[in-house]
Chain A
């Protein structure tokens, strides 16, 4: 069978390599002088825009109480079944509060449905994307880790009001 000419067969210039090396180096030096797009993470942190969906957090009011009334809708809508809520009664005006609120961050897929369904604007997606754990138990975030003061979540809440 006759040998077939391949598209990839190199020309003579390409075969001697030297010009190609200089061509490549030229591109490298040209880009060295251009402005950088890379970020030196973790020394330098990426601050996401308000539309970013980081880990879901619970909104903590200024008086230290959670907004959540433990209605369980986030838990119901969660496609990954990451959220567990146990409600209990309180003396406060909103009769109900979450006695336990746990998100399994291994299950969470950051879809933001919980935030979308929440009737109280009590669970929102934060800008926190640094989630590393060394075991399964650590990955279950309880109220201690989930509650974030409302002042830190202002721009996300603003974003939701505009676009939700």
Chain B
């Protein structure tokens, strides 16, 4: 009998290699754990995401479903095998050139699948690329730039880097790009010091109830590799966290009470093998299930069970905006449209599950973790552990996607607690189901809204109420309640407005921050009403939006007069030619009566950059070392969207040195100043302005030292800066200057806090210093019999103020559209039912259509070189444009997201029954 031993010989990247893990071990884990080949990523362990794709004997396989024994004698190529002698392959170079890698977590899988394809087909078609890479999921890019890169593998190398003063506006590649295509980038699960123990969280299997912990002593005695089991009693500081000072209501480990399925109950720490051998049932936990409060209507019902005893009516937060007199406005209206809409829980589905490691260093704890918000993590962990903030250091790893989901704490407090208690490094990586069950979600919404206008299309009145399922804990629920009333009117001028919102607590995962904070949901309602009114008025939907578009000089529903940078009308005009040709083409297509009907929809968008009526400053520092190295200390976390490149682009022009001189230190709370959270579409606008000021500050210092005028040209060289001012030339000897702790001899610092004013009881004030504006056009084919909606094309126009890096902007817009498409058509998180990436569907290669991006630049004087944000703006108008396209094609109004084939078919049948179609 051939019994596989625990020693297997194979070839990995051309080298004969041995694996000693048990034979059933997943190859992906063995390659990572035994040989440090962490370029092979673990995104799901179930073949659903393809991040672990490797080539075995020349064919792509998910290394999470191949056993170590099956790899015996075979030839394995991982992403680390693509570059030769330090030179990137043409494929890797093409990925960088095209911005095909954003966060980089899916990139190794994409590269390996593409490598497989290119080995078989020299010049593949777009369809062949999609078919070959269809087994790899990406949550950042919307796939389009990956396709572009693969179709252009033989293309030319990137041009010369921009000259001095021209970095802003140029398509420079990611400064941190190379490690993302070689597999060298270190994400949360990719490293821990030797000897690190593993932590695993045992989670609630039910949505509500109580639990009792049995004899942990006996459990530990029976499991010799287990070092510790932590419970609520072991939290030394406050067993409560939450992003709002007043909303710290979520226990790190539940204290007997379960409020949602997936809630953390106890944490087990031990040797990796011992922890891996555990089953949840091995823990002595005893459950008593109670009837959960599920959904908005149950939470709001009279006499509903309270999820938190101190939250009457299960109300977490309410928002309100009142302007003018809506009753009077509706009384004057010639046309009134109204409706009700509902949306579902949406999962962030970043391909990197939460992960990190921590260690005790002296009397401090250092936490290496995937995060969007290092400083907030630091403060929250200090609060939980009862330590001073300065005793906590957050060193962000590469972040494999965030989208709002990595703003809240995950592994941080527990690995910190264990590392402090045990005195050894402790690591933790969530499994995919654990990530999905425990992390925050987009709020499901139940919306009622109505809008009225004159016969000539001018909007007169708008009323909106949105209830939002905020889940079991506060998280960012108050932000959604705040942001929605401000934005719910859409990017239009309306004099009489009443918008209200309510965040309701339920026994579901906490709803938190997710790209748009409730605004993508409210835009579905608002933009449907705009189409209804346009139809009632007999006005073209694009013209209807132009009639009402917020423009410079107009007042928003919160009473803010827009003085600058309000390019919605330009965005709408930019869509007109596609709008006309696509509507005409759809008419032709539909004339041939088949099962498939084509529609073209449009939607507008606005979204405030930065936190709502709150101070949210960023500080950026720049240093020049004695050797002449320029370093930007960047606290603005790059989760793929690009601050590690964008900040240096801005700073390079402000300082007046080439972009290529810059080195970046990313987000270490000991080394970078606080640049706030990567959220609220604020980093380019807020931290970018800080980077500009830091560059200017440093330049001023240099010019003063050199005693030259403002137009002098700096030439940084090894050990010196040569300053040219007309005929004059001065040399600053850097080696003679005193260095700081970072080794920098000259430093500049810049801070920016966008000016806002508080909102009064009626929601009137200046909630944001600036807004992004945009509009999307969607072309959709609807199968009238099966209900499938296939998006054929999206045209996206966005006023970005100033395009700092057009490639990155396109990448954000593509990715936002992919997520908006998922929200519209397929994404629905159901606790206990869709806790994996095959039951929970996100768009694949075949679902994201060609996208035309049109960048409009109406400069924002407050922003860096006129720039403002794009991250959330890019998502918002997508679902409404798709729903409006379905309506154009079929006459059917969709009221429920996601519009799955079954729901679309049901809506078509219901409309037929009432003779609307």
A, B assembled together: no
